[in-house]
Amino acid sequence: MHKIHAAITAVHAYVPDYILTNKELEGMVDTNDEWITSRTGIKERRILKGDFATSDMGVHAVNGLLKKRGISASEIDLIIFCTTTPDMPFPATANVLADKIGAVNAWGYDLNAACSGFVFGLSTGSQFIESGKHKKVLVVGGDKMSSIINYKDRTSCIIFGDGCGAVLLEPNTEGYGVQDSILKSDGSGGSYLFQKAGGSLHPATSKTVENDEHYLVQEGQAVFKFAVTNMADVAAEIMEKNNLGPDDVAWLVPHQANKRIIDATTNRMGLSSDKVMINIERYGNTTNGTIPICLWEWESKLKKGDNVILAAFGGGFTWGSVYLKWAY
Ligand code: UT7
């Protein structure tokens, strides 16, 4: 009996239509296109307008995925929704999504590891496939970051955007799929990137709203310092652990937080830039959405057997890397 790996067998994503450009941001805060582009690599990001939530982007992503794979929602065993902007504190957005798409036989839960959520979710979801417990696991990563961004704070509002992607995991006994993962967290980094109010420590009051405490706060420089070393280190670590040299790696799929962090990771891994999926200029940082959105955009370029390394760093701090062999 060959070992069961969890293989990605389908991917799809959704980004909202509305494009918030650097030019438009220039009219909202004291910033300019040159600063944003040179410091982050971002030109524009998508914003989910209207009365829609994170789960609604998940519906678009998952329905597209199911159609591609030719299966119905009732065949899904488990939904892991990786998000930092759930529709509500509870019920879980995974349950909301299951109901909206008709995944009547699935159980589900939300996973919150900020920008590392999708990597954590992919690794976690894989365990249910590898153990033989489940045959079809959906890992969804998405955020409506615009719901927690303060559009008066120029240090954060220029970075984030909305979007969602999803992958389907199924068993593979030919050696394709997730090979390894390294996941890390360090709670002492919590004070550098957080949303203060709305939880049990500071429940919502008129005061918390008045004080803008329901918005994301980021100490950019401090986060940058940790991100730039830890994301590069963990990506290099998973290569070394699996005896992979730069020539063995077909693709790096990095979390899209800052082009300079992506470049540092690319250099550390010894990769040429044509092996790196980068779309930060069009979507900014969609938090849990960045990696599956990249996989969706590059799907036609991925080949069966390609060694793919995913790497992320986010609030918490959390960071990690997944090594997989592309299965189709
Ligand atoms: O995905 C989750 C993890 N998050 C990250 O990985 C993000 C990591 N951090 C970063 O990407 C960067 O730190 C930022 C893009 C957030 C900021 O870039 P920076 O190069 O670290 O800028 P800084 O905070 O050191 O600010 C430099 C200057 C400051 O002015 P002074 O004090 O030198 O006069 C800021 O006030 O740039 C100013 N500044 C801006 N100027 C124009 C800050 N934001 C802006 C802005 N437009 N939007």
Domain that holds residue 269: 179-325
Confidence of residue 271 (pLDDT cuts 50, 70, 90): very high
Our answer on whether the CB atom of 257 is closer than 6 Å to any ligand 1 atom is yes
**pLDDT at 17 exceeding the cut of 90:** yes
The 10s digit of each residue's pLDDT in 179-205 is 999 999 999 999 999 999 999 999 999
What does pTM read for this prediction? 0.97
pLDDT digits 0-9 by tens, 130-145: 999 999 999 999 999 9
Closest CA to 310 of 231, 198, 202: 231
Same domain, 33 and 99: yes
Q: Are residues 250 and 160 in the same domain?
A: no
244: CATH:
3.40.47.10
Dist CA 259 CA 284 (whole Å): 10
On whether both 122 and 198 belong to a single domain, the answer is no
Neighbours of 243 (CB within 10 A): 7
Rounded to an integer, the average pLDDT of 46-71 is 98
Cα(213) to centroid(ligand 1), Å? 20
Burial class (CB in 10 A: 0-12, 13-18, 19+), 131: exposed
The verdict on whether 112 is a catalytic residue reads no
Whole-number Å distance, alpha carbon 158 to ligand 1 midpoint, is: 10
pLDDT reported for residue 2 = 84
The mean pLDDT of 275-297, rounded to a whole number, is 98
End position of a domain, from candidates 115, 148, 174: 174
Identify any residues that bridge with 192 across adjacent strands, giving them in sequence order. none
Q: Above 90 in pLDDT, residue 147?
A: yes
Mean pLDDT, residues 40-68:
98
- 285 noted as active-site residue: yes
Nearest CA to ligand 1 atom 19: 221
Q: Whole-angstrom Cα distance, residue 27 to residue 21? A: 10
Of the three residues 140, 174, 208, the one that is the final residue of a domain is: 174
DSSP 4: P
232 and 269 Cβ atoms separated by less than 8 Å: yes
Mean pLDDT of the chain: 98
| Same domain membership, residue 187 and residue 146 | no
Does 224 score more than 80 pLDDT?
Answer: yes
One of 255, 258, 288, 294 is an active-site residue; which one? Answer: 255
Same domain, 20 and 159: yes
Of 21, 153, 221, 293, the residue with max ligand 1 atoms within 8 A of its CB, to mutate for a pocket test, comes to: 221
How many domains are contained in the chain? 2
Query: 136, 155, 174 — which closes off a domain?
Result: 174
Average pLDDT over residues 296-311: 98
Candidate from 21, 145, 155 with most ligand 1 atoms within 8 A of CB, to mutate: 155
Q: Which residues contact 285 (CB under 8 A, 6 or more apart)?
A: 42, 45, 115, 145, 159, 160, 161, 255, 256, 257, 258
- Say if ligand 1 is within 6 A of residue 41 CB: no
pLDDT tops 70 at residue 1 = no
